[in-house]
Amino acid sequence: MSTENSSLSTWFGSEQRKLIIQEYGIFVAFLLLALVLSISNEYFLTAGNISNVLLQTSINGILAIGMTFVILTRGIDLSVGSVVALAGIVSASFATTSSTAGVPGAPYPALLALPVGLLVGIACGAIVGIIVSRFAVPAFVATLGMLSAARGMTLLYGGGRPVPALTPEFRWIGTGNILGIPMPVVLLAIVFLVSWWVLNRTRFGRYIYAVGGNPHAAVTSGINVSRLRLSVYVISGGLAGLAGMLLSARTGSALPQAGISYELDAIAAVVIGGTSLSGGVGRITGTLVGALIIGVMNNGLDLMGVQSYYQQVLKGALIVGAVMLDQKRNQGV
Amino acid sequence: MEYLLEVEGLRKSFGGVAALSDGRLQLRAGSVHALCGGNGAGKSTFLKILMGIHMRDGGSIRRRGMEVAYSTPAEALAAGIAIIEQELSPVPHMTVAENIYLGREPSGRFSGIDFKTMNRNAQALLDRLGFNVRPSQLMMNLSVAQVQLVEIAKALSHNAEVIFMDEPTSAIGEKEAQHLFEAVKRLKTEGKGIVYVSHRLSEIFQIANSYTVFRDGSYVGSGNLADIDRPGLIRMIVGRELGDEYIKTNAPSVVPGIEVSGLTAPGKIDDVSFTACKGEILGIYGLMGSGRSEIFNCLFGLDPTSRGRISVDGRNITIAKPSDAMAHGIAFVTEDRKLTGLNLTGSVRSNICMASLPELSPRLNMNRRMEADASRQMVERFDIKAARDTMPVSGLSGGNQQKVVLGKWFHRKPKILLLDEPTRGVDVGAKREIYRIICEFAEEGGTVVMISSEIDEVLGMSDRIMVMRRGRSAGIYNREQSNAQSLVHLST
């Protein structure tokens, strides 16, 4: 009896330890990285640089948050990079002062151009969502198709040329600021807070975890699984649309080759943030920190003057290392 | 007389629980030996030890008089012992010949595979056995019975002398079963020894020479089938009289709770009708593949029906999806909790709340206090043993997991409870508690329809019993009229 008790208590001990690592490991990793960088480079902790890192993280952060919804339901969205470009160029064509690149009557007010970009993203997400949920096409294939199709539509739409000369009003969402905080960062914060609330405090959020954890059990519990699957792709598409407009607004013109391979950074942030690719497990906070880790690492390596090719190698190692830790952790349980 | 295989006193425990305490078997060459026993009798543990999948705790295994110990299935196979499992595992996109010689392909020039020789050998083997399968056919195009035959051929290509067949007919039809029996007879005349495991007694009497019965992990008896009749064998398998394991406290009323008439789903169930009254426990007994679970899938809107009428509380209803059924007060505890009952990565709390979130939280923002209250109520009511209700449900024992599933549905305060194998994989203590929960529900006027393949459970819990056979109802019988013999007889 006494031996049972002691083994039980050590089991609980290790269980607690595991939980702590599981919950906070990513934060600890992030803080360590920041600490090392702030010691090795005095410029790192300046307000200007922090703002810069956040600005650089905002687009990937928004995409990664959308990706988290999809991955939590056992899906994947490879199309976000192309949707960024399509939404960016379509909305830009409504907000350009250029007489050749815009739609007839352009420039329209930003309040019209912005919803257009959002709608393009939502429409792309809805198409993918319907293909996945109604026709049971694997998400990998459906979104791979959209990756190619949306890129093609982007090139067709602009004739392969960029859409330049965006109105200052439109550019404000990328370059403006509120109380000194850059607009993209404000938008990332809003998207994060709303997503956190949706995933943690609404029925829809509960259903996402239930469907990702066991779709069969979700069906027998009366949950409309196919509608839920559709809606996560709509969310991801809509956020890709937002990110696309941010990108155009920041650079001042919409490029047809914008957003190439953005989906990989978004997936990387989700994975580093501890969300399981097999669904049902993960946190939106982890995703945000995952995106920040990527941003901080790139920034830190830039500051140290490390060539960008090395940065890619390191990022690759980081992704694989994070998942290796994840696997080890899961085996322990 | 030397036995092909002789086993004595085989023992095996898992985590302090004895799965097998005294396994015995004597197998002669040129015979078919039936290994009988109810669920949990220790048959599969016994087979797994012989195949080298589990290590034994004690006992002896002699192969042709020689003491042996196998630590892997490959060793057992090399010693001439093969098993044809209940769950077959063919490689679907490969041909029959490729499956038979998987991992042992004859090599040709440039160390490629000599497909010609392989197909020729496979053809010779299949011809010798009289199996009507071509070596070049793809496995995916074969019927389940044909896949069984290929598995047998594969076993024999290893020169197996002892062949275990675990419920080979559970997934195939009557006609295909007869083909399989022909093959078994041919093996017998070739001097092989076959251990045949099946719940279907009519098959055993058709093809086996001798029998061994296990019950509760122990050897009960053995002999020649010529010396025993069917009721006698059933008595040995079922054993004890039903003790006070089942305390029935419910009293059925005459008010119908759910009425089903002419329910038909093509290829699954045909013209099934029954009425379960308030306060009644209606048992459904049938073998695997008899259409028993399909009835519930249709009632709950998971499978489409082509015909049939369902009424609840005297009113006709239509059910197209699970939420329709739930809206009419129907709850469904599925057969396999891990596959379709629980979100294993989710917490105890989230699983309990999963089916009643709209009720728990009518507004957009989740009411977390109500969730926590709901979870606490169910944990207390069913005495679910979990360190915290926020821990993942995967860390709970089978019995407690099953109680979480019950909690999920009881929180909805259902009127009709559909239970599919409610105590599968649950230990004796938790079983009793689950029986108590079911009885209390019926006592309070709820309607229970319960599927079970355990005869004891059906007889002990039900007020009336419907027997399913090949997708059809073989009749509904009162508890007093039925016994183990009659149920087994009707279902086969």
pLDDT tens digits along A54-79: 999 999 999 999 999 999 999 999 99
* Top-confidence residue, B452 or B349: B349
Residues of A in contact with B343 (CB under 8 A): 209-210, 213-214, 217-218, 280
Q: Do B346 and A224 touch (CB under 8 A)?
A: no
Same domain, B412 and B464: yes
Task: Give chain B's domain count.
Answer: 2
Domain membership of residue A298 (yes or no) is yes
Q: Which residues of A touch B334 (CB under 8 A)?
A: 220
**Within a domain: B135:** no
Confidence of residue A5 (pLDDT cuts 50, 70, 90): very low
B281 SS3 class: strand
Residues B272 and B152 placed together within one structural domain of the fold = no
Mean pLDDT along residues B149-176: 79
Question: A3 in a domain, yes or no?
Answer: no
Q: Report helix angle B230-238 to B484-491, nearest 10.
A: 110
The confidence score (pLDDT) of residue B240 equals 57
Note the pLDDT of residue A102. Answer: 77
For residue A80, is it within any domain?
yes
Summarize pLDDT for A166-177 with one digit per residue, the tens: 899 999 999 998
Q: Is residue B275 part of a domain?
A: yes
Among residues B106, B160, B165, B95, the alpha carbon closest in space to that of B133 is found at B95
Instruction: Classify residue A269: in a domain, yes or no.
Output: yes
- Cα separation of B331 and B352, whole Å? 13
Average pLDDT of every residue of chain B: 85
Whether residue B361 and residue A203 make contact (CB cut-off 8 A), yes or no, is: yes
Between A245 and B367, where is the model more confident?
A245
B289 and B209 together in one domain: no
| ipTM score assigned to the predicted complex | 0.79
- Please report whether residue B209 resides in a domain: yes
Q: How many domains are there within chain A?
A: 1
Facing B357 at nearest CB: one of A203, A220, A280: A203
Task: Give the integer Cα–Cα distance in Å for B286 and A34.
Answer: 64
pLDDT at B153: 84
pLDDT tens, position by position, A252-272:
889 999 999 999 999 999 998
Find chain A residues with C-beta within 8 A of B390's C-beta.
Answer: none
Q: Helix H segments across B115-191?
A: 115-129, 144-157, 174-189
Which CATH number belongs to the domain containing residue A267 in this structure? Answer: 1.10.3470
Residue A160 sits at φ, ψ, to 5 deg, of 80, 0
Closest CA of chain B from A207, distance in Å:
8
> Would you say residue B190 lies in a domain?
yes
Residue after which a domain boundary falls, among B180, B203, B238: B238
Least confident range from A220-229, A290-299, B11-20: namely: B11-20
- Domain membership of residue B59 (yes or no) is yes
Return the percentage of chain A with pLDDT > 70, whole number. Answer: 91
Residue B117 within a domain: no
Chain A environment of B354 (Cβ under 8 Å): 206, 210, 217-218, 221, 223
pLDDT of residue B40: 64
Question: pTM score, two decimals?
Answer: 0.76
Which pLDDT value is given to residue A68? 97
pLDDT exceeding 90 applies to what percent of chain B?
Answer: 27
Please report the pLDDT score of residue A9 as a whole number: 44
- For residue A11, is it within any domain? no
**Which of B238, B273, B300 lies at the terminal end of a domain, its last residue?**
B238
CA separation for the pair B167, B240 (Å, rounded): 24
Which residue among A12, A203, A222 sits closest to B322, beta carbon to beta carbon?
A222
Q: Is B415 found in the same domain as B358? A: yes
Contact B20, B44 (CB under 8 A): no
Which residue would you say has higher pLDDT here, B241 or A43?
Answer: A43
For position B330, what pLDDT does the model report?
Answer: 94
Task: Judge whether B85 lies within some domain.
Answer: yes
State whether B408 and A12 contact (CB < 8 Å): no
Residues B271 and B203 occupy one common structural domain: no
* B196 inside 8 A of chain A by CB: no
pLDDT score of B386 more than 60: yes
One domain for residues B232 and B280: no
Cβ <8 Å between B323 and A222 = yes
- The string of DSSP codes covering A5-48 is HHHHHHHHHHHHHHHHHHHHHHHHHHHHHHHHHHHH-TTTTSHH
pLDDT at B257: 92
State how far the alpha carbon of B351 is from the alpha carbons of A224, A282, B73, B451, in Å.
Answer: 16, 17, 38, 23
Domain that holds residue A207: 28-326
User: Taking 60 as the threshold, does the pLDDT of residue A1 lie above it?
Assistant: no
| Residue A178 forms part of a structural domain | yes
pLDDT the model gives residue B429: 67
pLDDT at B107 over 90: no
The residues facing B107 across adjacent strands are B113
> First vs last Cα of chain A: how many Å apart?
24
Region of B376 (left: φ > 0; alpha: ψ -120 to 50; beta: rest) is alpha
Tens of pLDDT, residues B302-359 = 988 889 999 999 899 999 999 999 999 999 999 888 888 899 889 999 999 999 888 8
Number of neighbouring beta carbons within 10 Å of residue B41: 23
Cα angle at A61 between A58 and A62, to 5 degrees? 90
Assess if residue A4 is contained within a domain: no
Rounded to an integer, what distance in angstroms lies between the CA atom of residue A107 and that of residue A190? 27
Instruction: Give the model's pLDDT for residue B182.
Output: 85
**Average pLDDT, integer, range A221-244:** 95
B355 neighbors B404 (Cβ within 8 angstroms): no
Q: Is the dihedral of CA A295, A301, A302, A307 positive or negative?
A: negative
Task: Tell me the three state secondary structure of residue A161.
Answer: coil
- Show which of B187, B206, B238 is a domain's final residue: B238
Q: Do B285 and B335 have their domain in common?
A: yes
Q: Are the CB atoms for A276 and A70 separated by under 8 Å?
A: no
Q: What value does the mean pLDDT take over residues B388-409? A: 87
In A, minimum Cα distance to B326 occurs at A222
Residues B312 and B429 in one domain: yes
Band the pLDDT of A11: cuts 50, 70, 90. Answer: very low
- Residue B255 has phi, psi (to 5 degrees) of -85, 120
CA distance A324 to chain B (A): 19
Helix (H/G/I), strand (E/B), else coil: B479: coil
* Domain co-membership, B298 together with B219: no
The residue range of the domain holding B79 is 5-90+142-238
Q: Could you give the CA distance from residue A71 to residue A211 in angstroms, rounded to a whole number? A: 11
**Whole-number mean pLDDT of chain A?**
88
Q: Which residue has the higher pLDDT, B295 or B428?
A: B295
Overall average pLDDT of the A131-142 stretch: 95
pLDDT of the residue at B39: 60
SS3 B310: strand
Whether the CA torsion B452, B458, B464, B465 is positive or negative: it is positive
Question: Does some domain include residue B104?
Answer: no
Q: CB contacts < 8 Å between A and B, how many?
A: 79
Mean pLDDT of B432-458: 88
Mean pLDDT across the stretch A142-165?
93
Q: What CATH number is given to the structural domain containing B370?
A: 3.40.50.300
